[in-house]
Chain A
């Protein structure tokens, strides 16, 4: 079929056939577990509805716990809120995904580069910040998930810049992980982000900011 071990070209059993045959022999010779449906008695939804005030408050608390910044605003205050964050960062050059829609951002002080798919990692390394939307937010874990849609862009542009601002709409925030999984398309390239990059590799002492964006801001709308 699709197995392409060059070493096996030219006859004899392939590694694929041999591994599968060994597994089958092992399973047949033992009375292991029967295949079966796993019990799913864990919570598949939270007690609070997506986008409800309780869920949003929990989301804010949990994202902040990772030392990310969270700002809440009404839809008509997005331009002002985003501009404030960029000004605070001293960011004069930002990159945005192709369908982010930045006409609202007063571009007077800020140079905006829209990724048309031609930017190189070096190009993106030269910008101060990236702005994206997201596919879903998870309150209990303080997570935002990006799925590569037009308002979120290629994975590279939300990775290389040192600062990342994510726009999250209230109705995108669910309480639990299973609710998020149900909303996501598992065949898309997904990036789950919970706070800025971090490491605990030295004496398990947590340090925020390593290779990914060292600063994360979430603007929660609504």
Chain B
């Protein structure tokens, strides 16, 4: 892996927490989450529902696999031609009356958006749900600058009003049930009917009433983008509620923050992604609303349009020839919904805007991984490698392969860090080195096998080993192992094939 360019090591120091990094490692955070039975019930119910819906609408598409192949190849082509496609997008957006800005990192993007909002004189912006602006912590930044950012997606609103953090890419409030949402609304929505029930319809109507006046009077909107078409400069936002249409249509100024990987080369490519995305994401044949716009349309919609192209670690991921496949992600969240680890631990345990299987491979690449004290270095291990995410991915990202690749990188980083700090190798590295020595000599291996029998002393009545003394104690905390058999295969072979061996 000598070609790898990125991931600076942060020897010693634990990196700062933020929208892409939690304050504890995944195993610790997951243990806390697992103890929350309400959370597990909410997540179990929600992911089960969405899995069923997705399966039904995917099954009815006869060419689903061909669409996945096309989606995967289009995204690979985008990565290979990223510079020329970005320039083409910029030219087309500009030619149609938009203005393009480039941001190297989150801070730069936040600064650009803040300056643009300031220039309008507005102290308030309405927002369409957007992972990119979540990732850069735009709302918090705007707030610190005296600008109120109002989330208009129902789930984002629930999260914002509850002073909470999103836990799912598509349904950020998936960890909340209707009774909890009712309580949040009653506490935070001025003028709400105190007798409101917890029926989803009533709660949705309360959100409609709460946001209606804001939509009609908003002067500035901030959105993300699901796709940007290089060939035409068109941007696309898919949504359900109509809050996206409100934000993209009514204000005078629209500011869109888009990751540089969200490109597709041609208009025609959308025919692939508009089939893959809704079915994978909400389990619908098509989401209720998809908006597409190109620059500024005189007399229709925002008359000032700014596109902020965001790097923020994407080029770091691009520099890893295996890891870059994570940039193909179209943020459908199908991998979250099928993941047994996500279903039990929930999104907050990942500590990042991007949770679940895709988050476990995307987050460490966007931020870089430090040594074992960096929570993001634990994310590639947040998986049992069962492969359900790969099967569900509409653009065929081989997430298990990426997880293994990043685990190797995490081990390399840790080893280099220890070497730099003149520390002995970690127990895992020492064990692997010892195993390699033992297994490379037949005599040594035979002796080791005989010693295995000692493991039987550690096993419980069920024949499982659930704890072990250090240095294995850490490993055993989240795993158990079968007791070794009385006789190994090689011992059995030697005993039953004695005659043959002699001949």
Tell me the complex Cα distance, A156–B473, Å. Answer: 63
Q: Does the CB pair B80–A27 fall under 8 Å? A: yes
Q: Mark B260-281, 1 if CB is under 8 A from A, else 0.
A: 1000000111111011001000
User: Which B residues are CB-close (under 8 A) to A207?
Assistant: 200-201, 204
User: Which A residues are CB-close (under 8 A) to B66?
Assistant: 39, 41-43
Q: Does the CB pair A29–B3 fall under 8 Å? A: yes
A19-B5 CB under 8 A given contacts A27-B80, A40-B70: no
A192-B99 CB under 8 A given contacts A198-B241, A210-B208: no
B457 within 8 A of A: no
User: Which B residues are CB-close (under 8 A) to A180?
Assistant: 271
Tell me the complex Cα distance, A154–B212, Å. Answer: 19
B127 within 8 A of A: no
A5-B112 CB under 8 A given contacts A15-B103, A36-B73, A156-B249: yes
Q: Indicate which residue in A7, A16, A30, A178 contacts B271 across the interface (CB closer than 8 Å).
A: A178
A19-B260 CB under 8 A given contacts A186-B267, A205-B200: yes
Q: Does the CB pair B300–A189 fall under 8 Å? A: yes
User: Which B residues are CB-close (under 8 A) to A156?
Assistant: 249-250, 300-301
How close is B97's CB to chain A, nearest CB, in angstroms?
Answer: 11
Q: Mark B199-237, 1 if CB is under 8 A from A, else 0.
A: 011011001100110011000000000000101111000
Q: Does the CB pair A22–B311 fall under 8 Å? A: yes
User: Which A residues are CB-close (under 8 A) to B286?
Assistant: 138, 141-143, 192, 194
Residue of A nearest to B246 (CB): A211
How many A-B contacts if CB must be within 8 Å?
A: 292
Q: Does the CB pair B315–A211 fall under 8 Å? A: no
A27-B204 CB under 8 A given contacts A18-B104, A42-B272, A212-B289: no
| Interface size, chain B (Cβ < 8 Å) | 108
User: Which A residues are CB-close (under 8 A) to B171?
Assistant: 200-201, 204
Q: Please choose the segment from B88-96, B141-149, B434-442, B491-499 that sits at the chain A interface, where 4 or more of its residues have CB less than 8 A away.
A: B88-96
Tell me the complex Cα distance, A187–B294, Å. Answer: 6
Q: Does the CB pair B102–A16 fall under 8 Å? A: yes
How close is B263's CB to chain A, nearest CB, in angstroms?
Answer: 12
Residue of A nearest to B300 (CB): A154
User: Which B residues are CB-close (under 8 A) to A65?
Assistant: 285
A14-B250 CB under 8 A given contacts A30-B321, A210-B154: no
Q: Does the CB pair A38–B80 fall under 8 Å? A: no
Tell me the complex Cα distance, A86–B452, Å. Answer: 81
B486 within 8 A of A: no
User: Which A residues are CB-close (under 8 A) to B82?
Assistant: 23, 27
A103 within 8 A of B: no
User: Which B residues are CB-close (under 8 A) to A4?
Assistant: 99-101
User: Which B residues are CB-close (under 8 A) to A16?
Assistant: 102
How close is B325's CB to chain A, nearest CB, in angstroms?
Answer: 9
A197-B311 CB under 8 A given contacts A35-B77, A148-B297, A155-B301: no
User: Which A residues are CB-close (under 8 A) to B246?
Assistant: 159, 211-212
Q: Does the CB pair B158–A201 fall under 8 Å? A: yes
Residue of B nearest to A13 (CB): B104
Residue of A nearest to B291 (CB): A191
Residue of A nearest to B119 (CB): A6
> Which of B47-106 touch A at CB < 8 Å?
49-50, 53, 62-63, 66-67, 69-70, 73-74, 76-77, 79-83, 86-87, 90-91, 94, 96, 99-104
Q: Does the CB pair A197–B73 fall under 8 Å? A: no
Overall SS of chain A's interface: loop
Q: Does the CB pair A7–B108 fall under 8 Å? A: yes
> Which of A109-143 touch B at CB < 8 Å?
117, 121-122, 125, 138, 140-143
How close is B139's CB to chain A, nearest CB, in angstroms?
Answer: 18
User: Which B residues are CB-close (under 8 A) to A62?
Assistant: 285
Tell me the complex Cα distance, A4–B243, Å. Answer: 29
Q: Does the CB pair A204–B50 fall under 8 Å? A: yes
How close is A173's CB to chain B, nearest CB, in angstroms?
Answer: 14
B240 within 8 A of A: yes
Tell me the complex Cα distance, A204–B153, Å. Answer: 14
A102 within 8 A of B: no
A211-B100 CB under 8 A given contacts A29-B3, A177-B275, A181-B268: no
How close is A135's CB to chain B, nearest CB, in angstroms?
Answer: 12
Q: Does the CB pair B216–A125 fall under 8 Å? A: yes
Interface residues on A, range: 35 or more
User: Which B residues are CB-close (under 8 A) to A74?
Assistant: none
Tell me the complex Cα distance, A1–B275, Å. Answer: 35
Q: Please choose the segment from B173-181, B350-358, B386-394 that sits at the chain A interface, where 4 or more of its residues have CB less than 8 A away.
A: B173-181
User: Which A residues are CB-close (under 8 A) to B304?
Assistant: none
Q: Does the CB pair B204–A22 fall under 8 Å? A: no
User: Which B residues are CB-close (under 8 A) to A193?
Assistant: 288-289
Residue of B nearest to A32 (CB): B321
User: Which A residues are CB-close (under 8 A) to B154?
Assistant: 199, 201-202, 210
Q: Does the CB pair A191–B245 fall under 8 Å? A: yes
How close is B467's CB to chain A, nearest CB, in angstroms?
Answer: 38
A203 within 8 A of B: yes
User: Which B residues are CB-close (under 8 A) to A77?
Assistant: none
User: Which B residues are CB-close (under 8 A) to A1?
Assistant: 90-91, 94
Q: Mark B406-422, 1 if CB is under 8 A from A, else 0.
A: 00000000000000000
User: Which B residues are CB-close (under 8 A) to A117?
Assistant: 299
How close is B98's CB to chain A, nearest CB, in angstroms?
Answer: 9
Q: Indicate which residue in A19, A37, A66, A212 contacts B245 across the interface (CB closer than 8 Å).
A: A212
Tell me the complex Cα distance, A141–B290, Å. Answer: 13
User: Which A residues are CB-close (under 8 A) to B284?
Assistant: 194
B138 within 8 A of A: no
Interface centre among A33, A186, A202 (most CB of B within 10 A): A202
Q: Does the CB pair A198–B240 fall under 8 Å? A: yes
A221 within 8 A of B: no
Q: Does the CB pair B70–A27 fall under 8 Å? A: no
On A, residues with C-beta under 8 Å from B are: 1-7, 14-16, 18-20, 22-27, 29-44, 62, 65-66, 117, 121-122, 125, 138, 140-143, 148, 154-156, 159-160, 177-178, 180-182, 186-205, 207, 209-213
List 16 A–B pairs whose Cβ atoms lie within 8 Å, in order of A's numbering.
A1-B91, A19-B102, A30-B320, A32-B79, A35-B80, A42-B272, A42-B275, A43-B63, A156-B249, A187-B232, A190-B293, A192-B290, A197-B241, A198-B241, A203-B178, A211-B212
Given contact pairs A42-B66, A155-B249, a sample of 19 additional A-B residue pairs in the complex whose CB atoms are under 8 Å apart: A19-B311, A26-B318, A31-B3, A32-B79, A38-B74, A41-B66, A141-B278, A142-B286, A159-B245, A186-B294, A188-B297, A191-B245, A193-B289, A199-B204, A201-B158, A202-B203, A210-B241, A212-B246, A213-B242
